[in-house]
Amino acid sequence: MPSEINTDFHGFNYLVVDDEAFIRTLIVRILVSIGVDKEKVTARESGLEAIDFMGNGGDEIIDMVICDLNMPDMDGIEFLRHLALRSFAGGIVLVSGEDTRILKAAEELAQAHSLKILGALPKPLKPDHLSNLLSAFDSSSAARGNRSTAEIGINDLAAAISERQISVVFQPKLSTSSQTLIGVETLARWIHPEKGFIPPDIFVHLAEENNLVDELTSLIIDLAIEQGASWLKQGLEIKIAINLSVDNLNDLDLTKKLEQKIADAGLQARNIILEVTESRLMVDITKPLEILTRLRMKGFSLSIDDFGTGHSSLEQLKRIPFTELKIDRAFVDGAAQDPATRAILESSVDLAKKLEMSVVAEGVERREDWDLVASLGCDLVQGYFVARPMPGDDILAWKEGWSGISD
């Protein structure tokens, strides 16, 4: 069966922004109907009023914004820009009666602003559609979890690495044909002893900007390999995906270091997939190409992550011996309803198949997502419909309790 519905959103604080009183009332009623306390919902009739509210302490409590697009004075597009300027770290749901392509463009704009956009929903709003979006939101990314990050500095991160405050969780990757566990993706987590949860995009960026990325990646690799060795002793051999920063691909000794780490743990190169984010792939190709080619020669798998979000996808596929293509969630979520998104998804799968690469669909959040990517030939799926990230010690129990997707 699919993973249980996440109800963390019941405890969020909401800001509803819509110029129509009836719609504002309707959204509040829908939130209450799906389990949200009415006292946790604030409503404003314009973007100007909403920004004023945020500027007077609202951004200290708001975890989720539900916003109309077409409003007088300050429309939803301008409102998104102001949220970005305020470094709003909560989730955002766009709601509008506009054409679906306008909704999609607004969603892309929010992502370009580095806002945490959950999705765009057409009017009239349906409770199950809103509930599905909210339940897919990782509560650890909610705004209140980010409030303390402004004071996080390089010394904090250096101490976190040396003291192993950084931990890892693992998200299952399932075969669409057998519906069985094939592998996991390793995801870094940092719970600061005083400042609480620090989002990965914050501390990874901090590491990249301050020459700590090799130390951070080394720790993550160590933790992932240690967990892999533990699973192997318990009879579970699966592929473990580990993210590499582009900055790691300047270390010509990386291959030797990885070989030594897996040998010490009793693992094989075939157990490890190294993911490189396509949107940050290298400009100077010389060292990275040497390193990645050597890794492939030694038996490690290579995955191009977030495919389709960068500017040089096809060129990188031609240059680098990738074995796996991970399709970004932006081309999975909503593809069943949006012809343009589906066309991109289909062409990406077709391209990977022609290049004899395995295909992973990220961000599979609903049954319709699973059905579509499976029908198109994606080999593996990853997303909250199947399982949320979990501690390594929970993977075996999850595997034993997984009963597949019912017909």
Q: Which domains does the chain have, with CATH numbers?
A: 8-141 (3.40.50.2300), 149-401 (3.20.20.450)
* Spatial distance between the Cα atoms of 141 and 154, rounded to a whole number of angstroms: 21
Report pLDDT for 373: 96
Entry pTM: 0.70
DSSP state of 171: E
Q: Amino acid letter at 123?
A: K
The whole-number pLDDT of residue 141 equals 47
CB 274, CB 237: distance < 8 Å: no
Q: In what order do the strands lie in the sheet with 116-122?
A: 41-44, 14-17, 64-68, 91-96, 116-122
pLDDT value of position 268? 97
pLDDT in tens, the chain (407 residues): 555 555 678 888 999 999 998 899 899 999 999 989 888 899 999 888 898 888 777 767 898 999 999 888 888 899 999 898 888 888 999 988 877 778 888 888 888 888 988 888 888 888 888 988 888 776 544 444 444 444 688 999 999 999 999 999 999 999 999 999 999 999 999 988 887 778 787 888 899 889 999 999 999 999 999 999 999 999 999 999 999 988 898 899 999 999 999 999 999 999 999 998 754 545 667 888 899 999 999 999 999 987 766 544 677 788 889 999 999 887 887 788 888 889 989 999 999 999 999 999 998 988 999 999 999 999 999 998 999 899 999 999 999 999 888 76
d(CA 18, CA 246): 42
Residue found by looking up tokens 């160590």 in the block: 222
Determine the distance from the C-alpha atom of residue 116 to the mean position of all C-alpha atoms in its chain, rounded to a whole number.
10
Question: Hey, how many other C-beta atoms are within 10 angstroms of the C-beta on 150?
Answer: 10
Interhelix angle for 127-135 vs 21-33, to 10°? 60
Residue type, 357: M
Q: What share of the chain is helix, strand, coil (3-state, %, to 5)?
A: 50, 20, 30
Output the pLDDT for position 309: 60
For 292-310, letters b (16+ CB in 10 Å) and e give beebbeeebbbbbbbbbbb
In angstroms, the CA 18 to CA 357 distance is 46
Determine the Cα–Cα distance for residues 30 and 24; give it in Å rounded to an integer.
Answer: 10
Q: Strand pairing of 272-277 and 239-244?
A: parallel
Q: Look at residue 72 in the predicted model and tell me its pLDDT.
A: 85
- pLDDT given at position 198: 83
- pLDDT at position 255, please? 96
The whole-angstrom separation of Cα 269 and Cα 171 is: 20
Is residue 200 classed as helix, strand or coil in its secondary structure? helix
Q: Are 5 and 34 in contact (CB under 8 A)?
A: no
DSSP run (H or E) holding 160: helix 154-162
Nearest-angstrom CA–CA distance, 228 and 56? 48
